[in-house]
Chain A
């Protein structure tokens, strides 16, 4: 089991994390954030494995990853 936290105030909505997630759990929001971008949001959170590939590809280091040991 894993969990990610996306810092919406840092996200620039580039969408690279959406391509990194093999389970397609990340999509771009339709709402704008404070920067005027559409930030990434997670869906079906319970399926996240905590592989951290989305965080690795994020150019703005906006994703933190937590995992059960």
Chain B
């Protein structure tokens, strides 16, 4: 018999600190598989964020820089400009990228930095105890929104993949999920595509991966994966929001800007 599935070389053979059923482990593996496929492990520099992804350096067999909270995209900019031959990726959660790091990610994306950003969105601050994040769904109960998030008081969840797709520097923006086998296979393809864009020097590539936090959500891992399919994907649709496959960076300096599809107005707009 031949081994058809084994641990990627880029992923260290160690026990992770993640809670049982946390999708971080799965997304780590997909990123490591993409690194193996392109053979970039020796020249990869990862940039870790603050949150459950903070121990990136212990799990990936690559060099890792630890960024201050939210600043991974800014640190990655410096790494890539100082070492243009290196392969640079950041791995950030939603409390890091979509809250304290919003300025850094938007400007890094708008400048079209040649980096890959893996954004893990589990709609809560997992490591610090399940507080409300900018991506928390309306009505979702967290430790800082015990009656559920209210639109009038807290606003609506940010859709980062769509938001960044509007910027001229972004070459690729997609949202994936790893809750089912089918979604996971799609996620694997899109992560590899995002890595390929950096290998080819096409500019900023962005992957938003919907994830779970069984501990903070207060459900079992199986129920958490079911919630991704039932509630998260409804608000955060899966798919590619920008793909500049035909864009040649040498002939035109900025990636073509795509107009996002019309989203329905929220309910309160009709009352005005």
| Interface residues of A, Cβ cutoff 8 Å to B | 1-3, 10, 12-16, 18-20, 35, 37, 50, 52-53, 55-61, 63-69
Structural contact, B26 and A52, CB atoms closer than 8 A: no
Partner of B6 from A20, A37, A64 at Cβ < 8 Å: A64
Does B2 belong to the interface (CB within 8 Å)?
yes
Chain B interface SS verdict (over half): mixed
The number of chain B residues with a CB under 8 A from chain A is: 29
Indicate whether A65 sits within 8 Å of B4 (C-beta atoms), given known contacts A15-B21, A16-B221, A56-B181. Answer: yes
Residues of A within 8 A of B5 (CB): 52, 55-56, 63-65
Q: Once bound together, how far apart are the Cα atoms of A5 and B77, in whole Å?
A: 42
Does B1 belong to the interface (CB within 8 Å)?
yes
Does B15 belong to the interface (CB within 8 Å)?
yes
Structural contact, A61 and B25, CB atoms closer than 8 A: yes
Does B253 belong to the interface (CB within 8 Å)?
no
B1-50 CB contacts (< 8 Å) to partner A: 1-7, 11, 15-16, 18-26, 29
Partner of B20 from A1, A13, A55 at Cβ < 8 Å: A13
Which one of B1, B6, B19, B178 has the highest number of Cβ atoms from chain A below 10 Å of its Cβ? B1
Of all chain B residues, the one with the shortest Cβ separation from A21 is B181
Q: A53 → chain B, closest Cβ, in Å?
A: 5
- 6 A-B pairs with CB atoms under 8 Å apart are A16-B222, A56-B181, A59-B16, A61-B29, A63-B5, A64-B5
Residues of A within 8 A of B178 (CB): 57
Q: Contact mask B181-193 → A, CB, 8 Å, 1/0?
A: 1001100000000
Of all chain A residues, the one with the shortest Cβ separation from B27 is A59
Which one of A37, A57, A67 has the highest number of Cβ atoms from chain B below 10 Å of its Cβ? A57
Of all chain A residues, the one with the shortest Cβ separation from B2 is A69
Structural contact, B6 and A59, CB atoms closer than 8 A: no
Does B248 belong to the interface (CB within 8 Å)?
no
Partner of B18 from A56, A59, A67, A68 at Cβ < 8 Å: A59
Which one of B5, B15, B16 has the highest number of Cβ atoms from chain A below 10 Å of its Cβ? B5
